Each structure stands twice: as C-alpha cells, then as structure tokens.
Amino acid sequence: MSNDGDEGRDDSKAARWLLLVYRIPSEPTRLRAGVWRRLKGLGAIYIQNSAAALPSSQAAERALRSLRSEIGEMGGTAYLFECRALAGVSQLVELFNAARNDEYEEVVDRCEDFLAQVAKEYAANHFTYAELEENEVDLVKLKGWLERIRGRDVFGANGMRQAVEALSRCESTLEDYAARVYSEEGEGSSPYGAD
C-alpha cells in the first residue's frame, strides 16, 4: 500500500468530495466561461479539464445539481458524483487551500486599493457624505466577499488571517474618515464612537 502522506489523517471531511465532470459545446465560448465563473464562485477546484471538485456538503450538492441542469440546457452533458478520495487526499486539500489563499490574497489587494482610495480623499481634502457613503458601500462589498470565502474555506487555509487583518485596517480607516467627515460637516463625532 502506497503512502501519499495521508496516513493518520482525520479524513472524514477531507476525503468526501463532489465531482462534476462536464462537456460543453466549444461555441459559443461564453458558455464555457460562464460555467468556469460559477464553479470558481462556488470555490471548486479543477482536478483536470472539465472535472471540478468541491468538498461534499448539502449546499455544494444543491449548487452543483443546479449547474449540471444548466449545462444540459446549454446542450452539454454533465455528471455529478459523490465520491471518496482513497489516495491523494492531502494533495486535494492543498489544492483547495491554495485556491482559498489566492482568494484571500485578492481580498488583501482590494483592501490595499480601498486604503489608497481613502488616502486619496485625505490628500484631496475631500470629506463629504457622498464619498463616505461610497466608501461604506465598498467596505460592505469587501466584508461580504471575505465572508463568502470564509464560508467555503472548510480546511482552514492560512491566508485568512492576513485578509481579516487587512479588512480590519479598512474598517478602522473608514471610521477615522467618517469622524473627519462629521467634523468637516460641523456635526461633531458619531454618537456610536469608534468600535
């Protein structure tokens, strides 16, 4: 029996996967791109061309069943399997965590963009409710995005901490910016204070 680094591992969660194997007509290419985006949005990993895997869960199964149906409506074929990885579990988990870490890194990058945008407002001495509201909307989007990633991060990818810290810096920076807007508008500080 070969040892692929999985011996002794509690693989109850890591070994059970959903596997979607599909074939889509090559034209129009937007169909392939649409399926790829949906699978990426679910957090699926490709184990080879047209074969995407997700850790098994009821929510993942519902989403993949729905996508399978849509692929059929596109004129393609799709098969959904619930399977158990007998070997290579560690590699699957590493691949899944790498995909989550890429997503976390994107959040960190967007947080840096957010902080740069707020710094630009400071540099331009631009302290208005309209800008505050726009930045609040952007922060809400970042929070939602991070929560969606955390929701599919079932194996605890190590990039989460950095993304959470980056988002915390964004929240703190926005609170400071809001206080400045209130001050510039002559309303004093927020009754809620800085959290």
Distance CA 146, CA 148 (A): 5
Alpha-carbon distances of 78 from 23, 44, 68, 123, 128, rounded to whole Å: 6, 15, 6, 54, 52
Bridge partners of 20, per DSSP, are: 52, 80
What one-character DSSP code corresponds to residue 20?
Answer: E
Which residue, 104, 92, 100, 99, is CA-closest to 164?
104
Query: Which H/E stretch holds residue 53?
Result: strand 51-55
What digits encode the pLDDT tens for the residues 60-115?
999 999 999 999 999 999 999 999 988 889 999 999 999 999 999 999 999 999 99
Instruction: Tell if the pTM clears 0.85, that is, is over it.
Output: no
What would the 3-class secondary structure string for 156-168 be?
A: CCCCHHHHHHHHH
Q: Is the pLDDT of residue 187 over 80?
A: no
- Which pLDDT belongs to residue 3? 42
- Which pLDDT belongs to residue 12? 60
Confidence of residue 188 (pLDDT cuts 50, 70, 90): low
Alpha-carbon distances of 159 from 91, 106, 141, 153, rounded to whole Å: 18, 10, 19, 10
What digits encode the pLDDT tens for the residues 11-63?
566 779 999 999 998 888 899 899 999 999 999 999 999 999 999 999 999 99
Q: Is the pLDDT of residue 175 over 50?
A: yes
Residue 128: which residues within 8 A CB-CB, separation 6 or more? 181, 184, 185
